[in-house]
Structure 1
């Protein structure tokens, strides 16, 4: 075997880095994750980032990454909305939720929307790299206690905890965003500013939520949202 053949063999068999796109509305957090991943390993390569749903959808379409690291809660719709708008056009891309929340309804919402896994922001840098590589290879990855939520929600087995809430499932991601802020005491104008929508649109969403939940006012809605740990 010639020297050139000897040199080219290992290179041809080397795995290329997993191309990652970061979605989170906190710029400092994105910068920290990018720095950690870029400095820690050559197994992953951060190719882009976004802080809003619109930026995420555009950036995912432009960069066509292997894996999208996706925050669950963002002001303009959150991870489920990114999935809803991106997956139909890019079914080959894998989405991994990375969130501070470990609430069952958040986990189930993004998994139903098409995410391949869900890890919390307490994960170490090394564990995050392994999670990214694993979902890129086709595995489903969850932080330890979150896997039970998914099993209970999707497996038809005796004793499974009923994670699904038929009333909650009626609400769109945007309606949930409005409801969450409403339950936190935000005024309509503040909700409109936070979500970059008009006050009239907020009123429309609130009316829709009231109709779907068959409740009478924002105080009942706040209590309803609190009972479901949306706040």
Structure 2
């Protein structure tokens, strides 16, 4: 290979570099993703920052202005939707917009639709392979929308029928935190487990559950589970 060809390849590699911020409240998961995709010479992905909650995410994203943010849906401080709301000016920028790709363990329709309405360019689950995640990052950086196969159906169902109101009036009565508690309770989590997952007290969990039951006019957690299951929230 001649010197000119080597130079061209180096320039192409530089052009393909994508700067990424990892947002997830589990440090070990962030470390795993960093190890899987963060070898810049091999993947073209440069991890320029990490965050574990909403406030950290907004600070890091604003400071680094990455090409793509890998964003978990469930975060202390209001969740991925809150990050999207507070970074709306960056994602909507005319030049060098920051694009968001949701990367979550959840495959619930409500989570998928919520972050897409919030401005994310795609949604993949944590079962994705390293090479596929790298490919998704580059595609989102280029402006494409990327979804794990079965999740794309949720988005199509939500947006295809323009004559059908996309909002769920009952669900809209709940705050973001109440929705997070609702999902975990419906999945069978004990109050202590919910408190640990959301970094709140057991008493606060109890208060949120009472508010959810009152707003939805339900009597107990069994009715709540049936209600959530019927709406594919679990």
TM-score bracket for the superposition, by shorter chain length: 0.7 to 0.9
The aligned counterpart of 2:134 is 129
Q: Report how far residue 10 of structure 1 moved.
A: 7.1
Structure 1: stretches of 5+ with no match in the other structure: none
Are 2:169 and 1:166 equivalent residues in the alignment? yes
- 132, 139, 144: which one pairs with 1:139? 144
TM-score, structure 1 length as denominator? 0.79
CA deviations over 1:127-181 (Å, ceiling 9, x no partner): 11111111111111111222122111111279x9x98643224323211112223
Task: Give 1:183-198 correspondences, 5 Å limit.
Answer: 183=186, 184-187=188-191, 191-197=194-200
CA distance in 1, matches of 2:21, 2:11: 25
Q: Is contact 2:24-2:53 (8 Å) kept? A: yes
The aligned counterpart of 1:79 is 80
Q: Is contact 2:195-2:201 (8 Å) kept? A: yes
Distance 1:65 1:166, change over 3 A: same
TM-score, structure 2 length as denominator? 0.78
Distance 1:219 1:75, change over 3 A: farther
The aligned counterpart of 1:118 is 123
Are 2:225 and 1:222 equivalent residues in the alignment? yes
Q: Give the number of aligned pairs.
A: 225
Q: Report how far residue 45 of structure 1 moved.
A: 0.7
Q: Is contact 2:39-2:45 (8 Å) kept? A: no
Question: Counterpart of 2:38 in 1: which secondary structure?
Answer: helix
Structure 2: stretches of 5+ with no match in the other structure: none
Distance 1:15 1:229, change over 3 A: same
CA deviations over 1:85-116 (Å, ceiling 9, x no partner): 32245532111011222222221111111110
Question: Counterpart of 2:74 in 1: which secondary structure?
Answer: coil
Task: Give 1:1-231 correspondences, 5 Å limit.
Answer: 11=11, 14-15=14-15, 17-39=17-39, 41-88=42-89, 90-91=91-92, 92-156=97-161, 165-183=168-186, 184-187=188-191, 191-197=194-200, 201-202=204-205, 205-231=208-234
Q: Is contact 2:68-2:101 (8 Å) kept? A: yes
Q: Is contact 2:20-2:45 (8 Å) kept? A: yes
CA distance in 2, matches of 1:202, 1:167: 20
Q: Bigger CA drift: 59-68 or 33-42?
A: 33-42
CA distance in 2, matches of 1:52, 1:59: 11
CA distance in 2, matches of 1:190, 1:119: 25
CA distance in 2, matches of 1:129, 1:185: 33
For the aligned residue pairs, the C-alpha RMSD in angstroms reads: 3.4
Q: Report how far residue 199 of structure 1 moved.
A: 5.8
CA distance in 1, matches of 2:182, 2:10: 55
Q: Is contact 1:104-1:146 (8 Å) kept? A: yes
